[in-house]
Amino acid sequence: MVNAAGKFGPYNQPVPARSVPVGGAWDTRVLAGRGPTGAELVKSRIALRVRLRSVAPGDRLPDAGVLAEELGISEITVRRALEAMCQDGLLDRRRGRAGGTFVAADWDAVVAVLHDADEAAALDSFHLLLECGLVAHSTGEVPDGRLDGLRALVEELDLVEDPARLLELETRFHLDLAEALGGAGIREFAADLLGRQCLLGPAPDPAVVRARNRCHADLLDELTRGAMDPAVHAVKAHRRAGLN
């Protein structure tokens, strides 16, 4: 599932050499065995695509067969998942020549109704645990150049004004961090968590994203220095920046 799922979304590029996990290979099969159902996967990956702006409210989605192949699940599972999302109001089905399945024009408003603060907090805690673990495991072993792409994201985040672009880059930072430290399989695992979070809680406002970006910069500095305690501290401070 992990490899097939990786074909979906703009965060997926061919696995580059830099994604070899820091400190040795992770066997993510154990994670895949407890992973989301097909329907949850479809829903969370579409939500992640909206957050990463590879698809916008009102846009037509690829056909179910294409999605099935990209996600590595059956077409019937995708069709059922899309149908359920139509019933939730997240998607619109249109018939006729220009028909297909579209992201609902009022996606944000529908998502707000689906928010579940308890589940969002649980996912956020788990994501924190994942990042603390990855950072603690990797500090002192990160190869030269591995963090260059993340530094570029931090610099861009500091300059961006558009709130949607800020959120896109914030999400991309955490996907790329998971890949830089844990490899492609851990990136997919993080994508599952982040996609679900997009549906369960409100997106942070721009001031929070900017405050968190200071923590991104601190984290990269400490990882480069090989300082484990301060690096883990930066991951925790990132979360608190959202709670103040």
Instruction: Report the distance separating Cα 105 and Cα 122, nearest Å.
Output: 29
Comparison of 42 and 186: residue with beta carbon closer to Zn ion = 186
End-to-end Cα separation, the chain, in angstroms? 38
Cα angle, residue 73 at apex, residues 59 and 107 outer, rounded to 5°: 25
Residue 127 engages Zn ion in binding (rule: CB under 5 A): no
Comparison of 127 and 146: residue with beta carbon closer to Zn ion = 127
Comparison of 85 and 238: residue with beta carbon closer to Zn ion = 238
Comparison of 67 and 234: residue with beta carbon closer to Zn ion = 234
> Are the C-beta atoms of residues 130 and 178 closer than 8 Å to each other?
yes
Comparison of 39 and 120: residue with beta carbon closer to Zn ion = 120
Binding string, residues 198-227; x marks residues near Zn ion by CB under 5 A: --------------x---------------
Which residue's CB comes closest to Zn ion? 212
> Are the C-beta atoms of residues 35 and 183 closer than 8 Å to each other?
no
Shortest reach from residue 178's CB to Zn ion, in Å: 12
Stretch that binds Zn ion, among 46-54, 121-129, 134-142, 170-178 (CB under 5 A): 170-178
230 phi, psi to nearest 5 deg: -60, -30
Shortest reach from residue 15's CB to Zn ion, in Å: 23
Instruction: Report the distance separating Cα 135 and Cα 180, nearest Å.
Output: 10
Residue 90 is inside which H or E element, if any?
A: none
Q: Which residue has the tokens 């690829």?
A: 62
Shortest reach from residue 185's CB to Zn ion, in Å: 21
Shortest reach from residue 131's CB to Zn ion, in Å: 9
Burial of 231 per CB tally in 10 Å (0-12, 13-18, 19+): buried
Report which DSSP code applies to 17. G
Comparison of 102 and 174: residue with beta carbon closer to Zn ion = 174
Shortest reach from residue 156's CB to Zn ion, in Å: 13
Exposure of 54 in the CB half-sphere (CA atoms within 13 A): 15
Shortest reach from residue 174's CB to Zn ion, in Å: 6
Instruction: Report the distance separating Cα 89 and Cα 107, nearest Å.
Output: 8
Q: By rule CB under 5 A, what count of residues binds Zn ion?
A: 2
- Strand partners of residue 101: 93
Stretch that binds Zn ion, among 90-98, 104-112, 166-174, 183-191 (CB under 5 A): 166-174
Shortest reach from residue 204's CB to Zn ion, in Å: 8
Give the residues lining the site for Zn ion (CB under 5 A). 170, 212
